C-alpha cells in the first residue's frame, strides 16, 4: 500500500497553515490519488491549536471516505494495463544541467522538469494511457508488459541501464527518446557519443546549439505516419535547443536553423535547407525507434505550440503500432488510468477541463459531455456489469470481439467505470 499525503490546508507559494483549501482543489487532489492507485491520506496542521477555527475540510473528508468505503473492492488494484511506459530519470533530475551553450542559466534545473512536464501534458492531450517507469526498475520482467517506452531527455543512463534498454529493443520493444538522452553516464560524466547510439542508429556531430527565444524549424522531406495532420506546409516548429547529429538516409524531417524574429527585415533563414536530421526513425524487427535531436517536449511545455504535441503523439502512436488497450473519445482535457481489479477492471477518468488547471486553485468544476470508451478484455472473461461509481448507476454496454464498448454520459471532476467480470 502507498499513501499520498494530501494537505487540506492552504499550500502554495503563500501559505496559511490553519486554513482550508477550496473544496474543489482538495477534491481533485484526492481524486488523482485514488485514480493513480494510491490511498488518500488527509493531512491537517495544528488540530488542537488553530485548525479548529476553520472546519470546512471536515465535510469533504467525511463525504469522501463514506463514498469510497461503499466501493472499496473496486479500488483493490492488481495491475495497470497500460502498454506505454514513460521513463522517469531521477539522476537526471538531480544532477543534469542544461549546457551553457543552450542559453540557459546552468545554475537552474527547471528545464529538466519542463521536459517531463511537456511529455506528460502531450500525453494528456493525446489521451494516451501510460505508466511512469523508474530508471532503476527497467529489468526485463518489469518492462515485458510495455510495447513501448518514452525517454524524455533522460540524459543520465548507466552502461547497465543502456544495456537493459538494448535488450528490451532486441526483445521487440519500441523506444522514443529526445535531446541528450544517454549522453551522460550515471556519474554525470559526458560520453563522446550517445550510450544508445547503436540502438537509435545516430551519431553526435556537434555540441548543443541553443536558439533561446527563436527555435529552429523542422522541414518536411517526405510523407510519413508521424506527419498526419500536417498539411499545406513545408515546415513547422522544431524546438528551442538541439544536439546536432550526423545525416541519415531518407530523413523524414530536417533542421532549418533558428533565426531572429526582430527586426522583421531579418526574419528569414540564412540557410533554408540542410541535411541535419530533426528526427531519426528506424525499425528493427518488431521494434520501432524514434529519436528527436531537439528538446521538443520542453519546448512544447514553454511555448504551448499544438504542432509539437501533435508530432509527439503521432510518433508515439507510430512506435506503439496503435496498440492501446483502452480508448476514450470525447471533448475535454482528461487523464485516464486503467486497472485490473479484484472484481474485474476499472477505468478512472479525471476531468482537467478547467481554467485553473495550470495555475491556482480549482474554484469550480466544469463538467464535460459524453465519453465513448473501448476497453479490451482478455478472452474468456465475461462482463456482467458496468457501473459508474461517482454517478452511482449502471450503464449499458456492448460486448465486442476484443472487449466492451460503452458511453459515460458526463464527467464532473472524476468518474470510475467499474467493469465486473
**185-202 pLDDT, tens per residue?**
999 999 999 999 999 999
Asked if the model's pLDDT at residue 51 lies above 60, the reply is: no
Number of continuous H segments (helices) and E segments (strands) in the chain: 9, 25
Longest dimension (CA), the chain: 70
CA gap 20, 26 in Å, rounded: 9
- Give the per-residue pLDDT at 9: 85
Distance separating alpha carbons of residues 225 and 196, to the nearest angstrom: 24
Contact status, residue 97 vs residue 342, Cβ threshold 8 Å? no
Q: Which residue has the cell 494510491?
A: 38
- The C-alpha atoms of residue 311 and residue 253 are separated, in whole angstroms, by 11
pLDDT over 60 (residue 90): yes
| CATH class entry, domain 82-320 | alpha beta
User: pLDDT tens, 365-407?
Assistant: 999 999 999 999 998 899 999 999 999 999 999 999 999 999 9
Residue 155 pLDDT class (50, 70, 90 cuts): very high
Q: Which pLDDT belongs to residue 419?
A: 98
Q: Is 189 exposed, middle or buried, given 0-12, 13-18 or 19+ CB atoms closer than 10 A?
A: exposed
**What is the crossing angle of helices 306-320 and 296-303, to 10°?**
140
Nearest Cα residue to 414 out of 394, 392, 383: 392
Which residue intervals of the chain bear CATH 3.40.50.880? 82-320
Distance between CA atoms of residues 94 and 96, nearest Å = 6
pLDDT reading at 49 higher than 70 = no
Amino acid at each position: 500500500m502507498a499513501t499520498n499525503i494530501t494537505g487540506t490546508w492552504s499550500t502554495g507559494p503563500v501559505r496559511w497553515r490553519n486554513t482550508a483549501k477550496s473544496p474543489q482543489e482538495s477534491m481533485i487532489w484526492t481524486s488523482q490519488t485514488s485514480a493513480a492507485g494510491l490511498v488518500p491520506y488527509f493531512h491537517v496542521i495544528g488540530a488542537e491549536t488553530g485548525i479548529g477555527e476553520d472546519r470546512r475540510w471536515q465535510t469533504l473528508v467525511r463525504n469522501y471516505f463514506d463514498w469510497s468505503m461503499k466501493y472499496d473492492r473496486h479500488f483493490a488494484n492488481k495491475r495497470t494495463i497500460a502498454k506505454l511506459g514513460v521513463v522517469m530519470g531521477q539522476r537526471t533530475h538531480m544532477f543534469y544541467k542544461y549546457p551553457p551553450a543552450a542559453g540557459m542559466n546552468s545554475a537552474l534545473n527547471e528545464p529538466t522538469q519542463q521536459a517531463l512536464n511537456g511529455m506528460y501534458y502531450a500525453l494528456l492531450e493525446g489521451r494516451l494511457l501510460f505508466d511512469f517507469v523508474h530508471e532503476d526498475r527497467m529489468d526485463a520482467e518489469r518492462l515485458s508488459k510495455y510495447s513501448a517506452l518514452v525517454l524524455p531527455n533522460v540524459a543520465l543512463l548507466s552502461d547497465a541501464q543502456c544495456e537493459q534498454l538494448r535488450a528490451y529493443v532486441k526483445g521487440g520493444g519500441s523506444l522514443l527518446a529526445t535531446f541528450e538522452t544517454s549522453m551522460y553516464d550515471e556519474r554525470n560524466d559526458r560520453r563522446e557519443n550517445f550510450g544508445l547510439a547503436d540502438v537509435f542508429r545516430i551519431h553526435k556531430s556537434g555540441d548543443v546549439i541553443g536558439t533561446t527565444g527563436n527555435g529552429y524549424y523542422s522541414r518536411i522531406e517526405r510523407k510519413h505516419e508521424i506527419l498526419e495532420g500536417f498539411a499545406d506546409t513545408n515546415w513547422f516548429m522544431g524546438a528551442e535547443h538541439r544536439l546536432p547529429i550526423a545525416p541519415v538516409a531518407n530523413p523524414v524531417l530536417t533542421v532549418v536553423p533558428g533565426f531572429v524574429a526582430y527586426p522583421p527585415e531579418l526574419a528569414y533563414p540564412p540557410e533554408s535547407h540542410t541535411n541535419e536530421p530533426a528526427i531519426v526513425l528506424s525499425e528493427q524487427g518488431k521494434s520501432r525507434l524514434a529519436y528527436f535531436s531537439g528538446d521538443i517536449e520542453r519546448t512544447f511545455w514553454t511555448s504551448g505550440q499544438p504542432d509539437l504535441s501533435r508530432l509527439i503523439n503521432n510518433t508515439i502512436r507510430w512506435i506503439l503500432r496503435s496498440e492501446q488497450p483502452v480508448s476514450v473519445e470525447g471533448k475535454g482535457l482528461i487523464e485516464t488510468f486503467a486497472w485490473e481489479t479484484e472484481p474485474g477492471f476499472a477505468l478512472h477518468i479525471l476531468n482537467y477541463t478547467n481554467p485553473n488547471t495550470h495555475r491556482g486553485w480549482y474554484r469550480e468544476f466544469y463538467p464535460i459531455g459524453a465519453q465513448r470508451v473501448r476497453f479490451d478484455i482478455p478472452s474468456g472473461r465475461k462482463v456482467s456489469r458496468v457501473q459508474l461509481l461517482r454517478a452511482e448507476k449502471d450503464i449499458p454496454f456492448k460486448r465486442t470481439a476484443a472487449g466492451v464498448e460503452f458511453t459515460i454520459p458526463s464527467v464532473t471532476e472524476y468518474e470510475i467505470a467499474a467493469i465486473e467480470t
